[in-house]
C-alpha cells in the first residue's frame, strides 16, 4: 500500500467538524468514566519492584520463604544506652520492657534483640553502648502498603527518647515509608508551584486565555484515560505507584506540546483566510499527522522500558505507552472538535497580541539563515559545548535507592547512618547462602565458608543452620546492601567455587542481580528504540539521512545530559541551586534509565515538529535553505515554548528532598532546554545546510513507503 494515498487525517477532520458536539459529549463521558474506574488502581499500586524475579537471588528468596519460613525485619532499631554499657542491669530491664512494647504493635509477629538473645555479640555496637532490636511481620514480599504502615507506626512511637534509652528507627518498612511519604509531600508542593506557574506561562505563550486552556483538554484526558489502562494492568501484574508521577508529568507535558502545535496551525490557517471547517481539516491533516507520528516515536521509545526485568521500570513502560496513546487521541479527537466550535473565538481573552499571529519571517528565521551562512563553525562550536557537558560522564557510577536519598535530617536516614557508624556489620540485611541438600557435605561447606570469610567487606560468617537436609548461612557484610561496594562483595563471593546447588541471596545479591539484569537488557532496549525511531522518521520524512542524524543528535544530547547529571549528583555541584543532597558517589540506575528514555522520546517529539514544517516547505518548492529557515520560524517558537513549559513542570521536582526525584527533575529540565536550543536551533539547521538536497534522498523503491504532508 502506498502510504500517501490514504487521506485518513483529512476525513477525520471533516468528520470532527460535522459531528463536533456529539464527539465532545461522547468523549467527555468516556473520559470521566475512565477516570472513575481508573481511580480504583490507586489502592493496587506498590512501592517496590526493584528485583529481577528470574535471578539467583530471587530463587534464594523463594527458597528461604517457602522452605525456611524466613522473613526480613520490617524495622531495625538501634537502641542507644547513652554512657552506660548494654550489659548494665538497669539498661537491660529498660530494653526488655521496650522490646515487649514493640512486640505489641499491630502486625508485628516476632522481635529479636541483643537482650532477648542472651547477649549475642553480633547484636552489640563496637563501643558497647548500643545494640540492635529487630521487629518482624508476617507479610507477603509485595505487601508494601502494610509494610510501610507498620514502619511508620514504629517510627512514630519509638524513634527518639525512651526513658534512659534513645531509639533510632531504620529498616525496610521505616525507610520505605519515609521515602514514599517524602515523595508524596514533595510532589504536592511541586505541583502547587508548577501548575499555577504553568498556567501563567501558557497564557503568555498562547497569547489568549481561551487558547491557553487547550493543553488541559489533551493533558487531562490523557491522564484520566491512562489511569484506566493502568488499572487494567494491575489486574494482571505489579505496577509501581511511581508510575502515577510519570502519567501526570508526561500527560501535562505532551498536552502542552500537542496543543501548541495544533492551535498554532489552526490559527495559521484561519489567518490565511480559510473557513473554520477548512482550517480544522488542514490542521488535522498537517499538524495532526505530525502529532500521530510524533506520538508513535515517543511511544516506541517508552515501550522499551517494558523489556527490563524490574517491575519498577516495566511500570513506567506501561504508564508511558498509556498516557502517550491517550495524549495523541486527545489531540486528534476532542481538540479539533473544540476548535471547530470555537472558530475565531480561539483568540478570545487576548493577553499578548504577538503570541496570536504567527509570523512568516522573524527572529528564528534570521537565526537559521545566520547559522546556515557559517555551518562549519556552528557545528564545531556546538559539539565543543556538548563535549564540555559530556566530560564529567567519566565519573559515572550506578547504584540503587537507599536511605541516603533522604535528607540527612530525616529520622530514617539518621537511623541508617547510626548502623553504619556504630556497628561492624549490617545484621538486618545479611547475605544469605542457601545450600539445598547440604547436610552430609559439611566439610565442603566449611571450606567454602572459610573462603567467603576472607572476602574484603565481610564482617563475619554466622554459624551454619540446618532445615531438614538443607543448610542456611548468614554472611554479615560491613557495607550497606544497595551500593557499589556491596555489588563487589557479591561478585567476589560468586567467583569462589561453591557446593553444587548453592544459591547466594539477600539484599546485596538482589541489588547485584537487578543491576546485572538492567545491564543485560539495555543493549536490546537501545536497539529497539534506534530501529523503530529510524523507521518511523523515514516513513515521515522520506529521507535516509534525517533518521540517522536524528538518532545521533538525540544520542549526543542524552550523553551531555548524563554528563551534567554526573557533575551535579556525583561530583556534588550546584547544591546552592538545587538544595542539599547526599553525595553517594553513584546515581540511581532506575531513575537514570527513566530520565534517558523520557528525554530521548521528548527529543524525538521536537525533532518531528521541526522536520514536519521543514519538509512541508521543501515540498512546496522552497530551496533547502529557505525551507529550513521558514520551517524553523514556524516551529522553533512552538518547540522552545513547549520545552520551557515542560522544564517548569519538571524543574518543580528539584525542590524534593529525595535525591532521585531531584535528579529526575534536573535531568529532564536540562535535557529539554538543551535540546530546544543548542540542538534544534543551531546543530539541526547547520547540518541540514551541509547536507543540502541530500537531506531528502532515498532509494526509489523505498519512496512508496513514505507519507506526504
Q: Is the pLDDT of residue 139 over 80?
A: no
Give the per-residue pLDDT at 708.
63
Is 358 a residue whose pLDDT tops 70? no
pLDDT band at 2 (very low <50, low <70, confident <90, very high): very low
For residue range 613-655, list pLDDT tens digits in order: 888 888 888 888 888 888 888 777 778 888 888 888 888 888 8
Q: Which of these, 394, 352, 426, 699, lies nearest to 545 by C-alpha position? A: 699
pLDDT at position 496 is: 94
Identify the pLDDT of residue 143. 63
Start-end of CATH 3.30.70.1320 domains in the chain: 74-170
Average pLDDT of the segment spanning 331-344: 93
For residue 384, what pLDDT is reported? 96
pLDDT recorded at residue 142: 53
Query: How much is the average pLDDT of 410-436?
Result: 86
Q: What is the pLDDT of residues 300-320, one digit of tens each?
A: 999 999 999 988 899 999 999
pLDDT tens digits along 171-193: 888 888 888 788 778 877 877 88
Position 676 scores a pLDDT of: 84
Domain 74-170: which topology? Alpha-Beta Plaits (3.30.70)
What CATH fold (topology level) applies to the domain 8-44+208-350?
Multidrug efflux transporter AcrB transmembrane fold (1.20.1640)
pLDDT over threshold 70, residue 5: no
User: For the residues 499-513, what does the mean pLDDT come to?
Assistant: 91
Residues 400-408: what's their mean pLDDT?
Answer: 81
Task: State how beta strands 465-467 and 470-477 pair.
Answer: antiparallel
Q: How confident is the model at residue 340 (pLDDT cuts 50, 70, 90)?
A: very high
| pTM reported for the whole predicted model | 0.84
d(CA 110, CA 515): 32
Mean pLDDT within 506-519 = 91
CATH number of 408-512: 3.30.70
Q: What percent of the chain has pLDDT over 90?
A: 36
- Whether residue 446 is predicted with pLDDT greater than 60 in this model: the reply is yes
Asked whether 386 and 129 are in contact (CB, 8 A), the reply is no
pLDDT band at 24 (very low <50, low <70, confident <90, very high): very high
Does the structure show a pLDDT above 60 at 425? Answer: yes
Average pLDDT over residues 81-101: 91
Task: Give 46's strand partners.
Answer: 240
- Three-state DSSP string of 245-309: HHHHHHHHHHHHHHHHHHHHHHHHHHHCCCCHHHHHHHHHHHHHHHHHHHHHHHHHHHHHHHHCC
Q: Closest by alpha carbon to 607, among 526, 688, 522, 692?
A: 688
Residue 328 confidence (pLDDT): 95
Mean pLDDT, range 656-683, rounded to an integer: 89
Residue 314 has what pLDDT? 92
Higher pLDDT, 22 or 483: 22
pLDDT at 144: 65
Binning pLDDT at 50, 70 and 90, where does residue 141 land?
low
What would the mean pLDDT of 14-21 be, rounded to a whole number? 92
Contact 20, 337 (CB under 8 A): yes
Higher pLDDT: 41 or 489? It is 489
Nearest of 272, 285, 257, 265 to residue 339 by alpha carbon: 265
Within the chain, all domains assigned CATH 1.20.1640.10 are found at 8-44+208-350
Across the range 659-675, mean pLDDT stands at 90
Task: Give the pLDDT score at 4.
Answer: 47
pLDDT band at 369 (very low <50, low <70, confident <90, very high): confident
Q: What distance in Å separates the CA atoms of residue 604 and residue 301, rounded to the nearest whole number?
A: 9
Those residues whose C-beta lies under 8 Å from the C-beta of residue 289, and which sit 6 or more positions away, are 9, 612, 707, 709
Arithmetic mean of pLDDT, 686-690: 89
Mean pLDDT lowest for which of 19-23, 165-169, 479-483, 691-695? Answer: 479-483
Mean pLDDT across the chain, nearest whole number?
Answer: 87
pLDDT-derived band of residue 709, with 50, 70 and 90 as boundaries? Answer: low
User: 674: pLDDT confidence band, cut at 50, 70 and 90?
Assistant: very high
Confidence class for position 594, pLDDT limits 50, 70, 90: confident
Residue 581 confidence (pLDDT): 87
Amino acid at each position: 500500500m502506498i502510504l500517501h494515498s490514504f487521506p485518513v487525517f483529512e476525513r477525520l477532520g471533516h468528520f470532527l467538524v460535522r459531528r463536533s458536539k456529539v464527539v465532545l459529549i461522547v468523549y467527555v463521558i468516556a473520559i470521566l468514566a475512565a477516570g472513575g474506574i481508573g481511580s480504583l488502581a490507586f489502592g493496587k499500586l506498590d512501592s517496590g519492584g526493584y528485583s529481577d524475579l528470574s535471578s539467583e537471588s530471587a530463587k534464594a528468596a523463594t527458597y528461604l520463604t517457602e522452605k525456611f519460613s524466613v522473613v526480613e525485619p520490617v524495622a531495625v532499631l538501634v537502641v542507644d544506652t547513652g554512657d552506660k554499657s548494654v550489659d548494665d542491669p538497669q539498661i537491660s530491664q529498660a530494653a526488655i520492657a521496650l522490646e515487649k512494647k514493640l512486640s505489641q504493635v499491630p502486625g508485628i509477629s516476632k522481635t529479636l534483640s541483643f537482650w532477648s538473645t542472651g547477649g549475642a555479640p553480633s547484636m552489640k555496637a563496637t563501643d558497647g553502648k548500643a545494640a540492635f532490636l529487630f521487629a518482624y511481620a508476617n507479610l507477603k514480599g509485595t505487601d508494601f502498603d502494610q509494610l510501610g504502615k507498620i514502619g511508620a507506626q514504629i517510627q512514630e512511637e519509638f524513634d527518639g527518647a525512651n526513658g534512659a534509652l534513645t531509639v533510632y528507627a531504620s529498616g525496610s518498612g521505616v525507610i520505605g515509608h519515609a521515602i514514599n511519604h517524602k515523595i508524596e509531600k514533595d510532589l504536592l508542593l511541586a505541583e502547587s508551584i508548577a501548575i499555577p506557574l504553568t498556567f501563567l506561562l501558557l497564557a503568555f505563550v498562547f497569547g489568549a486565555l481561551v487558547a491557553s486552556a487547550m493543553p488541559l483538554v489533551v493533558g487531562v484526558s490523557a491522564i484520566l484515560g491512562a489511569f484506566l489502562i493502568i488499572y487494567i494492568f494491575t489486574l494482571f501484574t505489579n505496577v509501581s505507584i511511581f508510575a502515577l508521577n510519570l502519567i501526570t508529568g508526561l500527560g501535562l507535558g505532551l498536552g502542552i506540546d500537542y496543543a501548541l502545535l495544533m492551535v498554532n496551525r489552526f490559527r495559521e490557517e484561519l489567518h490565511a483566510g480559510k473557513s473554520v471547517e477548512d482550517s480544522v481539516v488542514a490542521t488535522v491533516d498537517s499538524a495532526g499527522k505530525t502529532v500521530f507520528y510524533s506520538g508513535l516515536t515517543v511511544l516506541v521509545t517508552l515501550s522499551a522500558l517494558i523489556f527490563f526485568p524490574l517491575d519498577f521500570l516495566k511500570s513506567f513502560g506501561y504508564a508511558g505507552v498509556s498516557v502517550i496513546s491517550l495524549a495523541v487521541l486527545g489531540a486528534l479527537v476532542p481538540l479539533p472538535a473544540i476548535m471547530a466550535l470555537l472558530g475565531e473565538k480561539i483568540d478570545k481573552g487576548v493577553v499578548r497580541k504577538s503570541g496570536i499571529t504567527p509570523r512568516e519571517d522573524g527572529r528564528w528565521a534570521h537565526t537559521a539563515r545566520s547559522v546556515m551562512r557559517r555551518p562549519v563553525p556552528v557545528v564545531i562550536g556546538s559539539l565543543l559545548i556538548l563535549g564540555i557537558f559530556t566530560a564529567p560522564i567519566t565519573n559515572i557510577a550506578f547504584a540503587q535507592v537507599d536511605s541516603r536519598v533522604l535528607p540527612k535530617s530525616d529520622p530514617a536516614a539518621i537511623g541508617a547512618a547510626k548502623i553504619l557508624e556504630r556497628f561492624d556489620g549490617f545484621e538486618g540485611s545479611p547475605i544469605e547462602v542457601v545450600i539445598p541438600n547440604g547436610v552430609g557435605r559439611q566439610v565442603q561447606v566449611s571450606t567454602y565458608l572459610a573462603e567467603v570469610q576472607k572476602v574484603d567487606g565481610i564482617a563475619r560468617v554466622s554459624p551454619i543452620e540446618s532445615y531438614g537436609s538443607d543448610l542456611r548461612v548468614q554472611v554479615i557484610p560491613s557495607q550497606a546492601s544497595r551500593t557499589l561496594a556491596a555489588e563487589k562483595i557479591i561478585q567476589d563471593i560468586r567467583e569462589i567455587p561453591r557446593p553444587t546447588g548453592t544459591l547466594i541471596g539477600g539484599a546485596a545479591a538482589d541489588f547485584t542481580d537487578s543491576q546485572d539484569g538492567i545491564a543485560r537488557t539495555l543493549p536490546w532496549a537501545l536497539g529497539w528504540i534506534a530501529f523503530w525511531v529510524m523507521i518511523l522518521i523515514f516513513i515521515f520524512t522520506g529521507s535516509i539521512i534525517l533518521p540517522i542524524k536524528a538518532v545521533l543528535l538525540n544520542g549526543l544530547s542524552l550523553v551531555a545530559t548524563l554528563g551534567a547529571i554526573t557533575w551535579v549528583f556525583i561530583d556534588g555541584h550546584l547544591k546552592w541551586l538545587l538544595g542539599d543532597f547526599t553525595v553517594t558517589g553513584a546515581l540511581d540506575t532506575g531513575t537514570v534509565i527513566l530520565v534517558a528514555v523520557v528525554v530521548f522520546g521528548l527529543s524525538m517529539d521536537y525533532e518531528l515538529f521541526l522536520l514536519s514544517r521543514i519538509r512541508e516547505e521543501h515540498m512546496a518548492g522552497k530551496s533547502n535553505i529557505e525551507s529550513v529557515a521558514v520551517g524553523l520560524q514556524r516551529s522553533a517558537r512552538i518547540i522552545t515554548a513547549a520545552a520551557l513549559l515542560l522544564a517548569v513542570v519538571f524543574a518543580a521536582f528539584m525542590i524534593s528532598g529525595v535525591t532521585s526525584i531531584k535528579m529526575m527533575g534536573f535531568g529532564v529540565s536540562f535535557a529539554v532546554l538543551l535540546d530546544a536550543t543548542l540542538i534544534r536551533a543551531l546543530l539541526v539547521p547547520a547540518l541540514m545546510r551541509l547536507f543540502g538536497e541530500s537531506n531528502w534522498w532515498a532509494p526509489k523503491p523505498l519512496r512508496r513507503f513514505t507519507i506526504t504532508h
